[in-house]
Homo-oligomer: A and B are copies of this chain.
Amino acid sequence: MEHLGTHRHGDRILGGVRQSCGECEIRDLTFCSVLTAEEMERVRACRTEVQFAAHHTIFHEDDEADHLFNVTSGVVKLYKLLADGRRQITGFLFAGEFLGLAANRTYAYTAETVTAAKLCRFSRRRLVMLFDQWPHLEKHLLGIAASELIAAQDQMVLLGRKTAQEKMASFILKMSERAEARGQDGNPVTLPMNRADIGDYLGLTIETVSRTLTQLKNKGVISLMDSGHILLSRPQELDDLAEGF
């Protein structure tokens, strides 16, 4: 659990930059992939590239939801807090992923960088106007929302019904799969977040995360190269552990 109030707002290091989308390396991972050249140009007009150092808040739960974002590099976490500071991280976002969907006028969660990160920031108002004109973009977004909903349900199964070991195994495997989906190496797995973040994502404490990792290591299914890099020695067994076999 992290303290409230520290790093209340991210130190934006770079703001207002408007470089070309043509050279965007992760375009195929984002909703931009469904845009024509002319559409891209109009989207670019409501875009600003922003950059933050690690551990800085991008927006805060209950802030006015004026912007939508695409992560272009680095890692972002989303979380909600209880009154006494207990924290639940609801997701980690990597390059190409989208954040900012809100049901009301305000954000439903806080977004904070895990590593240094760059994001494309869009004016919600202006982007929504474009959605109205391009149904295919809205359709794509609905697809994204549907996928996230499925993922959220998987996470509910994990939080509600899995043991610590099953949670850790599931987490490591998902991180591996997502790295591969981004075209990176899925083994060894890189875990850019610290143990507190992992715990708050899995509904565990720091200590249990640490102990569970050493258990998996002692079983021989993983090796800890260092605290942020895990080698999957026996991926199949890890998979079995994740599903409770």
A225 at the interface (CB under 8 A from B): no
A18 at the interface (CB under 8 A from B): no
Q: Which of A134-187 contact B (CB under 8 A)?
A: 135, 138-139, 141-143, 145-150, 152-157, 159-162
Closest 5 CB pairs of A and B: A160-B203, A152-B152, A159-B159, A145-B145, A135-B135
A149 & B145 in contact (Cβ 8 Å cutoff)? yes
Q: Can you list 19 pairs linking A and B with CB atoms under 8 Å apart?
A: A80-B153, A80-B154, A83-B244, A83-B245, A88-B160, A90-B153, A101-B149, A102-B150, A103-B149, A108-B153, A149-B152, A152-B155, A152-B156, A156-B156, A159-B203, A160-B200, A160-B203, A161-B200, A161-B203
CA distance A115 to B11 in the complex (A): 53
Q: Which of A95-146 contact B (CB under 8 A)?
A: 101-103, 108-109, 131-132, 135, 138-139, 141-143, 145-146
Copies in the complex: 2
Q: Chain A interface mostly helix, strand, loop or mixed?
A: helix
Report A204 CB to chain B, min CB distance, Å: 9
CA distance A80 to B146 in the complex (A): 16
A150 & B103 in contact (Cβ 8 Å cutoff)? yes
Report A143 CB to chain B, min CB distance, Å: 7
Partner of A153, one of B109, B139, B143, B202: B109
CA distance A149 to B99 in the complex (A): 12
Partner of A132, one of B86, B101, B135, B243: B135
A55 at the interface (CB under 8 A from B): no
Report A46 CB to chain B, min CB distance, Å: 18
